[in-house]
Amino acid sequence: MSKTVHEVPNPPLLDRYTPWAGTAARLIVGGVWLVAGALKVTDLRSSIRAVQVYELLPNSIAEIVGIVLPLVEVGIGALLILGLATQASAVVSTLLLLAFIVGIASAWARGLQIDCGCFGGGGQLGEGESPQYLVEILRDIGLLALSALLIWRPTTRYSIDSILFKTK
């Protein structure tokens, strides 16, 4: 009889707390995307320039990325904060962060003197300013870890997903 009691779903300790950790991850990563995108949408030309200075993409593609990226950042940020399509948003978030890490690392390796342009701004650095590549990469790795958590356990508290899809 005691056996059957154990078969009633009784989530292990980890599973009881990950939804809360997921909510925190959603708000942090979503908040960062929302702010990063919002700071760029008002000046999309600067956003294009910020992409161009990496010298990684041909100009026509840099232009498209510079225009679309800030808006996608805002959108993904909003989805994560709302907890709608969490897993898919986290996948996009992860891919973007991986791309950024590669971009920054490559700028670092090539000795470029640029600002990552992560939160608006961007472009060449002036004299007396040194690039912050390590800090930028570490920050992105932190956000990457949180995004990965959301891919692994997309069910989180206070999310629209949990209302739409009762996966409890």
Partner 1 sequence: MAKRYDKKQQAARIMREQHKREQRRKQLIMGGAIVAVLVVVMGIIGVALYLNQTEEVVPPKAEHTESAIVQGDGPVTVDLYEDFLCPICKNFHGQVSQDLQQLVDEGHVTLRVHPIAILDAASQGTRYSTRSASAAVCAADEGQFSQYTAELFANQPAERTSGLDDAELTKLGTDLGMGETFSSCVADKTYRGWVQQATDTAANDKVTATPTVFVNGEKVTVPANQGIDAVVAQFEKDLTAALEAAGITTATGSNPDGQTGQNATGGDTTQD
Tokens of 64: 């498209």
Identified binder of partner 1 from the candidate list 19, 122, 136, 137, rule CB under 8 A: 122
What number of other Cβ atoms are within 10 A of residue 148's Cβ? 16
Identified binder of partner 1 from the candidate list 18, 52, 94, 147, rule CB under 8 A: 52
CB of residue 136 to partner 1, shortest distance in Å: 16
Are 151 and 90 a contacting pair, CB within 8 Å? yes
Q: For residue 51, with 0-12 CB atoms within 10 Å meaning exposed, 13-18 middle and 19 or more buried, which class applies?
A: buried
Contact between 67 and partner 1 per CB under 8 A: yes
3-state secondary structure of 60: helix
- Residue closer to partner 1 by CB (options 91, 148) is 91
CB of residue 36 to partner 1, shortest distance in Å: 13
Contact between 30 and partner 1 per CB under 8 A: no
